[in-house]
Amino acid sequence: MKLLHLDSSILGEHSVSRGLTADIVAREKALHSGLEVVHRDLAADTALHLSGAHLAAFQGGAVQDAALSADLAAGGEYIKDLFDADIIVIGAPMYNFSIPSQLKAWVDRVVVAGKTFRYGANGPEGLLPAGKKVFIASSRGGFYQAGTPAAALEHHESYLRGVLGFIGLTDVTVVRAEGIALGPEARAAAIAKAREEIAAIAA
Ligand SMILES: Cc1cc2nc3c(=O)[nH]c(=O)nc-3n(C[C@H](O)[C@H](O)[C@H](O)COP(=O)(O)O)c2cc1C
The verdict on the CB of residue 181 being under 6 Å from ligand 1 is yes
Q: pLDDT tens, 47-58? A: 999 999 999 999
The Cα-based distances of 112 to 3, 89, 156 in angstroms read 21, 20, 21
Mean residue pLDDT of the chain comes to: 97
- Give the separation between CA 61 and CA 48, rounded to whole angstroms: 18
Question: Which domains does the chain possess?
Answer: 2-199 (3.40.50.360)
Atom of ligand 1 minimally distant from the CA of 140: 17
User: Of all helices (H) and strands (E), which one includes residue 110?
Assistant: helix 101-110
Q: pLDDT tens, 117-169? A: 999 999 999 999 999 999 999 999 999 999 999 999 999 999 999 999 999 99
Quote the pLDDT of residue 107: 98
The verdict on the CB of residue 11 being under 6 Å from ligand 1 is yes
Quote the pLDDT of residue 44: 98
Compute φ and ψ for 24, nearest 5 degrees: -65, -45
Q: pLDDT tens, 173-188? A: 999 999 999 999 999 9
Quote the pLDDT of residue 41: 98
**Mean pLDDT score, 4-15:** 98
Q: Which of 14, 89, 95, 176 to mutate to test the pocket of ligand 1 (most atoms within 8 A of CB)?
A: 95
Confidence of residue 82 (pLDDT cuts 50, 70, 90): very high
Distance in Å, CA 121 to ligand 1 centroid: 41
**Mean pLDDT score, 71-86:** 97
The Cα-based distances of 31 to 1, 5, 37 in angstroms read 11, 16, 13
